[in-house]
Amino acid sequence: MASASRVLVTGADGFTGRHLCARLRTAGFDVTELTEHATTTDRQVRAELNDAAQVRDAVARARPEHVVHLAAIAFPGHADAGAIYRVNVVGTLNLLQALVEHGAGARGVLLPSTATVYAGDSSSALAEDAAVAPASHYAVSKLAMENMAHLFADRIPIAIVRPFNYTGPGQREPYLVPKIVRHFAQRAGAVELGNIDSERDFLDVRVVADAYARLLSTEAAFGRTFNLCSGVGTSVRGLIAKLEAITGHRIDVQVNPAFVRPNEPRRIVGSAMRLRETIGDLLDVPLERTLQDMLSEAA
């Protein structure tokens, strides 16, 4: 399937998009990138997600057989709550409607959501049927996107993926891990953070890109929802300890109450059993390698 499949990747110029497009091309997919910026090659199309006419035109030009919809406002602390819903929900609606109207050959759409839809704080790993209780506009918008997408399931094969936290080369601040890595790369004396005991399930972006590419090649994946995670929890305090071990540099961690998010779950760790049963074991990129590669990039 991969060698013959035309794939449209929205948000292609973002952090995940750059890694995914490279991975898809390596696998033999014919990739067209959708961006909001002026196009420079015939492998790109331009559209703003909130402009339904532009999205319809981009889909008609790309004629995708598969779509990975990465474009979103993904930072939970984004200042404009309205924009989060317009892009993440209405923008996705515009894309799916365009695919119904102009994407008759579409064999599958991959919609990344987020693990923050879950209630969290469970002592066991969260499976796909765990209770949902989104606690930010970003998480609420993603859950709304999932529910809206189900209305198209009888016309377009859709797979929903809930990635847990991931990071890696190319990620920039204001995200947490790049901020911490920069302080270590600069051998700063101190860093201000929020709750350093919150525990998250971290993956490398290259693992995520590889999993997305393999899901596109797996017909049985469509019509289902998958967690994308490692199953291992690491606290922010644990991340700092790993970076101290790698660099030999110790840093003074100062908790700034302004950085502590209200209602933040203490622990969000997932189970990827369903995903592994569908595509096999995930690419193995240890967290230490991810941090080392990010340090090398920040140097």
State pLDDT tens for residues 102-161: 866 789 999 999 999 998 878 889 999 999 999 899 999 999 999 999 999 999 999 999
Helices 287-298 and 236-247 pack at an angle, to 10 degrees, of 60
Q: What is the pLDDT of residue 4?
A: 60
What does 172-234 look like in DSSP terms, one character per residue?
-TTSHHHHHHHHHHTT-SEEEES-TT-EEE-EEHHHHHHHHHHHHT-GGGTT-EEEE--S-EE
Distances (CA, A) of 216 to 1, 24, 206, 210: 9, 10, 16, 10
Per the rule left: phi > 0, alpha: psi between -120 and 50, beta: everything else, 47 is beta
Q: Has residue 172 got a pLDDT over 60?
A: yes
User: Does domain 2-168+202-229+271-283 correspond to CATH entry 3.30.465.10?
Assistant: no
Q: Has residue 57 got a pLDDT over 50?
A: yes
- Please state the rounded mean pLDDT for residues 292-296: 98
Q: pTM of the entire structure?
A: 0.96
pLDDT digits (tens, 9 = 90+) for 195-250: 999 999 999 999 999 999 999 999 999 999 999 999 999 999 999 999 999 999 99
Short-list 140, 166, 171, CA closest to 227? 166
Work out the mean pLDDT of the chain and round it to a whole number.
Answer: 94
Q: What is the pLDDT of residue 1?
A: 45
pLDDT digits (tens, 9 = 90+) for 235-289: 999 999 999 999 999 999 999 999 988 777 889 999 999 999 999 999 999 999 9
